[in-house]
Homo-oligomer: A and B are copies of this chain.
Amino acid sequence: MAKVKKQPRPKAVTPKGFRDYFGAEVTERSHMLSQIAEVYHRYGFEALETSAVETVEALGKFLPDVDRPNEGVFAWQEDEKDWVALRYDLTAPLARVAAQYRNDLPSPYRRYAMGPVWRNEKPGPGRFRQFYQCDADTVGSPTVAADAEICAMLSDTLETVGIPRGDYIVRVNNRKVLNGVMEVAGVLDPNDPDAMETERGIVLRAIDKFDKFGEEGVRLLIGAGRMDESGDFTKGAGLSDEQADIVMGFMNARRESGAATAARLRELVGASKTGQDGVNELETIAELLDAQGYGGDRILIDPSVVRGLGYYTGPVFEAELTFEILDEKGRPRQFGSVSGGGRYDDLVKRFTGQEVPATGVSIGVDRLLAALRAKGRMSSVETGPVVVTVMDRDRMADYQAMVAELRNAGIRSEVYLGNPKNFGNQLKYADKRNSPIAIIEGGSEKENGVIQIKDLILGAQIAQNATLDEWKERPSQYEVPRGDLVAKVREILESQKQ
């Protein structure tokens, strides 16, 4: 028989740009998702879970940020015919659903969706090709009451997942006000809305980069152009200083109170109808939120919110965490944005030809988790199970009976199921599991009807700080009657919580 050529072994690796999540990383996220779902649900939103796969035709080229390079989808061909792809966000599937089921869904349709999305981007540090999104949208409602509701819900959600009031702010802006300002600056003609589109595109992208380049950089980009450190030149929009002043005035229009900000914006948009509509909308939103008790300490009219202005058509919102954390180099920095959203009116138009107004928000769950961990409000290290050690492998039934008792009492526990020969390995295992307690029942204990209960947390503390004599007294280990198993374990677990 010819010798079969040996195949090399497959490599056990996560594909590039993807990652695995273990233990508390999974449970903490899933806990947060259910907290968020509860708030969304209380606001009347319905759950929707679409399939991960969509036809490429339905997805379209619909990516929110068109100027990011390498942005694509994971796609493949079905039976050498139709192309399908993994969803890149939760909005495109909503558009498809809103069109497909338009005769059956209630209108307005409030829905929330949470789950992974996939981006075929170049992976980088901290940049993954699969991540969670958590969206809520109201489809079919033109009133800004829908936008105000989303802002209120976002505020409630942040507090529900553990960001206290004062540690976050929801900022609201309006694309229409910017359009009004563009009219005043002379780069948008309401009678010929297509003219100067290139210039407006440059202005939009420039103010989107405010965080990155600052006021000076944005002024260059909307003016004569900007040369970066490497000498590369980015063409500007060619606005005069006067025009630039008007645009920059918009971004700096925030005043002490919402009313004062609105007044300043009203000045800036002058006679522009669109601009005035935009300011009115912001005022209505402020008024509606006020009626529900959401003051400026939670939700704020703020024209400096520019992210997403290019994509959205009306109100735009962003939630920012205002506390500082330490970055990789130990320097304090603001945590920044964890959520954004706004109004967009072309949701289902691609499918049906009809314009359907929609507004929604997306929460960056992984960033929120990172924030809570950075503030020490979440551990990401989980307490392990109580471990019942195996002293005599023929008495496995005894040990199983112990964990059954513990589990029936709601206590997380397990029997050591590795090779029990080396007792040290059992304690090492308990340590690796971050176990709070180990139970020991050897032959002599069995004879005397007792068990040993080892407080592993206290034990570790003593091992670190105690003298040899103190350690020898082993005050972290208790001998109790077998019948006291559950009671004593519970007592120790309680004491460890303090």
Among B48, B50, B76, B433, the residue within 8 A (CB) of A75 is B76
A291 B47 Cβ-Cβ under 8 A? no
Enumerate A267-321 residues with CB–CB distance to B below 8 Å.
287-288, 290-293
Among B27, B130, B145, B387, the residue within 8 A (CB) of A41 is B27
Which residues of B are found within 8 Å of A82, using beta-carbon distances?
15
Q: How far is the CB of A206 from chain B (nearest CB, A)?
A: 29
B57 A10 Cβ-Cβ under 8 A? yes
Enumerate A39-74 residues with CB–CB distance to B below 8 Å.
41-44, 46-55, 57-58, 60, 74
Among B13, B18, B407, the residue within 8 A (CB) of A42 is B407
Among B34, B108, B353, the residue within 8 A (CB) of A418 is B108
B48 A413 Cβ-Cβ under 8 A? no
Among B43, B44, B130, the residue within 8 A (CB) of A53 is B130
Determine the interface band of chain A, counting residues with CB < 8 A from chain B.
Answer: 35 or more
A22 B46 Cβ-Cβ under 8 A? yes
| A195 lies within 8 A of chain B by Cβ | no
| A495 lies within 8 A of chain B by Cβ | no
- Partner-contacting stretch, out of A182-190, A371-379, A397-405, A452-460: A397-405
CA distance A349 to B230 in the complex (A): 51
Chain A binding site: helix, strand, loop or mixed by DSSP?
mixed
| A12 lies within 8 A of chain B by Cβ | yes
CA distance A44 to B395 in the complex (A): 20
Which residues of B are found within 8 Å of A433, using beta-carbon distances?
44, 106
B51 A19 Cβ-Cβ under 8 A? yes
9 additional A-B pairs beyond A52-B86, A143-B396, beta carbons within 8 Å, are: A10-B55, A20-B49, A42-B410, A52-B116, A53-B130, A145-B396, A149-B414, A291-B398, A292-B403
